[in-house]
Amino acid sequence: MTTPTEDEVWMRKALREAEAAGAAGEVPVGAIIVHKGRIIGRGHNQRETLHDPTAHAEMIAITAAASELESWRLLECTLYVTLEPCTMCAGAIVLARIPRLVYASSDPKAGACGSVLDITRNERLNHRVVPEPGVLAEECSEVLREFFRKRRAAAADE
């Protein structure tokens, strides 16, 4: 048995956030922000709960981290998220100056870190982020698949 990498350990914490979202009826995406070995922001999707289209896991985690550091510049931070960020979240990651993004599953429909678009490495922007995909991808993808499987089954029963 191999020892989990540091990224896997942190991603498991983001996965717990995703599971909390799923338990609340939200699309199960979770995020944490780590600064110098400590979680300073966490979030999970809350769009349905808050009736807010911007209440994505990443946005909530970024707001919490900025509050914790008392700065909008999230330098020396790593964002861990269970699904590739969308355009809104990728833009916020760039604007927050987060240098490192680790995500689990790619999003072939809305991913903006290399799948559909690549906002994080756009040379025309004043900051670039190096995305690192694939950490615990299968586990995080399975949480999403199971959520949507249950949602489709419930809709079929109505």
146 near 18, Cβ under 8 Å? no
Known catalytic membership, residue 146: no
- What DSSP string describes the chain? -PPPPHHHHHHHHHHHHHHHHHHTTS---EEEEEETTEEEEEEE--HHHHT-TT--HHHHHHHHHHHHHTSS--TTEEEEEEE---HHHHHHHHHTT--EEEEEE--TTT-TBTTS-B-TT-TTSS---EEEE-TTHHHHHHHHHHHHHHHHHHHHH-
The catalytically annotated residue of 17, 26, 58, 84 is: 58
Nearest-angstrom CA–CA distance, 111 and 24: 23
Catalytic residues: 58
